[in-house]
Chain A
Amino acid sequence: MLSRKPKALADEPTHYCPGCGHGIVHKLIAEAVDRLGIRERTVGIAPVGCAVLAYNYLRVDMTEAAHGRVPAVATGIKRVQPDAIVFGYQGDGDLAAIGMAETIHAANRGENITIFFVNNSVYGMTGGQMAPTTLEGQLTATCPSGRNPLEDGAPIGVCEMLNTLRRPWYIERVALDSPAGVRRCRRAIHDALRAQMDGKGYSLVEILSPCPVYLHLSPVDALRFVREKMAAQFPPGVFRRDGHPVGPAHGKRSGGAMES
């Protein structure tokens, strides 16, 4: 399924742990960039998080952003060169904790950028702390007896929240929990970049992704966690297409979170 190496992907082996989702997402982005023929006009932004070295693996122009500031940096790049294809890559801490303001406002301006949001339910890089997307009861280094919503807040559904705004063009959540999930992810990444190429505005793909190390699970069990636990809290599906909220196109359930 993930056989031929895309041109936009470096030969370098990644530094990710076995069973980590980041490497798969990189490869899917590289494939989409190749397929859309945009390698020579793409500018990417790496986050602060486990994917901080994404520019070692993606063979396109890339920069970094301070923790959480990816959407603001993307805005600056895109506004001064509208013909560039600008994507940001963010983890859940980066996007939904420290960078929430930048996220909401870039989406609300309808910036013509694309965000790939890797939700692994923990802070990977700093050692498995609680993230805004940590599930209720999930154990992390900073909620050692399990996330308690009464004290720690409840998991934030980023797609649901952004879908309340008027300006986003395309929002989809996918899960790297199965070959079918990977295929959906490939298509979603493609569609998001396509929307930007067509000048449509803000697109975001949330990718539920395993972090076996800080879920303290084997790679196989981490995939099951994504499929059974994460996807229950964060139902996959298309939330927004062509600038309009839509009902769940696929996914395990409709939690009432999505408008139809």
Chain B
Amino acid sequence: MAAQRVLMMGNDAIGEGAIRAGCDAYFGYPITPQNELTAYMAEHMPKHGRVFIQAESELAAINMVFGAAVAGKRAMTSSSSPGISLKQEGLSYLAGCELPAVVVNVQRGGPGLGNIGPGQADYFQATKGGGHGDYRLVVLAPDSVQEMHDLTVLAFELADRYRNPAMVLTDGRLGQMMEPLVLRDEPPPRPPPKPWALTGAAGRAPQRVCSLLLEDGALERHNEKIQQKLAVIEREEIRFEERATDDCDILLVAYGTSARIAKGAVAAAREEGLRLGLFRPITLWPFPREPLGAMGRRTGVVLVIEMSAGQMLEDVRLAVGDGPEVHFIGRTGGGVPDVKNVLDVARRVSKRGGRADHAARTRGAGL
């Protein structure tokens, strides 16, 4: 198949991925550091005969996504942390109505207005539900411009396959980064049939899509159905990358921009004979708990790196259990850990024995 190699910014790569995935409608609202994506869609969607609207707010944008999705079309919105908070209501309704849609969060520093530096502090919000009620988003975490593109395409596929909203969770550094990207000439996407879509009741009985279920037990049955679906996603859709894990003494765990730093640290450490490996979750939900658990227990020493005060850290601890030491490097407020940071902590913990949980003591290393 023909392929084209281009230099692209991460935010644009998401836009290009969405267009290639057959995104019919995009609704956005300006916020840094994802503005390039909205501008990309403004320029390119109309050229492909697709819908672009700059909404009056993130609330409106996610509800326009709801409308396009309920009509059976592929729809996307994007924002950065403060705007994603506003989308939580809509995400809950999308999940409750079992509507497929894609939401991109190019995370920045928080809480509050925070700053426009990169962040990973929306992990809890993204992976634990975020809005009200029992639901999960499929959460995909790219660590390269190539993956910004590819995982956006995948997000549309998974959203449609499971009738569930999916999120691409990235950050301002990846969004702004220029990198080569291979665009393959693939056959156009073929979304699954959507017999539930509201297209007007031509030749069939009228139908409805709603999350309001008032009959005795109906909402609980609906929730059980959603939980069963989520269990299938947890079984089928786990994705992760391992690097140099065969012989490692310390297992780094990181995603997104932190994983790029970790990759640099793995390479640099090997030169000085320090054997680091990396486990990089690509799906943050479903979280690759079992493979990570097995690897963490085998390695015995785990070092989690995040641009947060320790959010994925909780899932890593759950995954590896009480056996292994778990250390943590966390930067917040737009700060990004660097390779030296990681190597310093790695050297320190590699010399030390003991099984205690040293996260609290080592946290300061990165702050």
**A interface residues with partner B (beta carbon < 8 Å):** 39-43, 46, 52-53, 55, 58-66, 69, 72-81, 84-85, 101-102, 104-105, 109
B60 adjacent to A105 (CB under 8 Å): yes
Interface of chain B residues 182 through 221 with chain A (CB within 8 A)? 198-203, 206-212
Would you list 16 pairs from A and B whose C-beta atoms are within 8 A, ordered by A residue?
A: A40-B202, A41-B202, A43-B199, A58-B206, A59-B201, A60-B206, A62-B198, A63-B198, A63-B209, A66-B90, A73-B70, A76-B25, A76-B27, A77-B68, A101-B56, A105-B56
Which chain A positions have C-beta within 8 A of B73?
A: 80-81
Verify A61–B90 contact, CB threshold 8 A: no
Is the pair B68, A76 in contact by a Cβ cutoff of 8 Å?
A: yes
- Contacting residue for B63 out of A62, A72, A85, CB 8 A: A72
The interface residues of chain A lying within 8 Å CB-to-CB of B57 are 101
| Pairwise interchain contact B63-A77, C-beta atoms closer than 8 A | no
Contacts of B264 in A (CB 8 A): none
Q: Who on chain B is nearest to A60 by CB?
A: B206
Asked if B55 is at the interface of the complex by the 8 Å CB criterion, the answer is yes
Given known contacts A66-B63, A69-B59, A73-B63, is B68 in contact with A61 (CB within 8 Å)?
no
Q: Are B200 and A40 in contact (CB under 8 A)?
A: yes
When the two chains form their complex, are residues B63 and A40 in contact, meaning their CB atoms are under 8 A apart? no
Residue of B nearest to A56 (CB): B208
Tell whether, in the assembled complex, residue A102 and residue B90 are in contact, meaning their CB atoms are under 8 Å apart: no
Q: Which residues of B contact A84 (CB under 8 A)?
A: 71, 199-200
Partner of B69, one of A61, A76, A81, A85: A76
The answer to whether A101 and B60 have CB atoms under 8 Å apart is: yes
Do A75 and B206 contact each other (CB < 8 Å), given the known contacts A61-B198, A63-B97, A63-B198?
Answer: no
**Which residues of chain A have C-beta atoms less than 8 A from B210's C-beta?**
46, 55, 62-64
Closest 10 CB pairs of A and B: A76-B67, A72-B63, A41-B200, A76-B64, A105-B56, A40-B202, A69-B63, A61-B198, A76-B68, A73-B67
Q: How far is the CA of A101 from the CA of B57 in the complex (A)?
A: 9
User: Could you tell me the distance between the alpha carbons of A181 and B66 in the complex, rounded to whole angstroms?
Assistant: 35
Asked if A79 contacts B51 (CB within 8 A), the reply is yes
Question: Would you call A61 and B56 a contact (CB within 8 A)?
Answer: no
Contacts of B93 in A (CB 8 A): 64-66
For B64, the chain A residues whose CB sits under 8 A away are 72-73, 75-76, 79
Whether the Cβ atoms of B60 and A77 lie closer than 8 Å is no
B75 contacts chain A at the CB level, 8 A cutoff: yes
**A80 engages B198 (CB within 8 Å):** no
Q: B206 — which chain A residues lie within 8 A by C-beta?
A: 58-62
B63–A102 CB distance below 8 A: yes
B150 at the interface (CB under 8 A from A): no
Within the complex, what minimum Cβ distance (angstroms) separates A29 from chain B?
A: 13
Bound Cα distance from A71 to B365, whole angstroms: 50
A66-B212 contact in complex given A76-B68, A80-B25, A81-B71, C-beta closer than 8 Å: no
B39-68: which residues lie under 8 A (CB-CB) from chain A? 51, 53, 55-57, 59-61, 63-68
Bound-state CA distance A40–B59 (Å) is 30
The answer to the question of B89 belonging to the interface, with a C-beta cut-off of 8 Å to chain A, is yes
B24 within 8 Å of A (CB atoms): yes
Chain B residues with Cβ below 8 Å from A52 are 212
Q: How far is the CB of A200 from the nearest CB of chain B, in Å?
A: 19
Bound complex: CA A42 to CA B51 (Å): 20
Q: Is the CB of A40 within 8 A of B71?
A: no
Contact yes or no, B200 A61, CB < 8 A: yes
Residues of B within 8 A of A53 (CB): 212
Contact B200 A65 (CB under 8 A): no
Complex contact A61–B207 (CB within 8 A): yes
Q: Across the two chains, which residue of chain B brings its CB closest to A48?
A: B212
Question: Nearest B residue to A74 by beta-carbon distance?
Answer: B67
Q: Mark B79-92, 1 if CB is under 8 A from A, else 0.
A: 00000000001100
Complex CA–CA separation, A84 to B57 (angstroms): 25
**Residues on the B chain within 8 Å of A63, using CB:** 70, 97, 198, 208-210
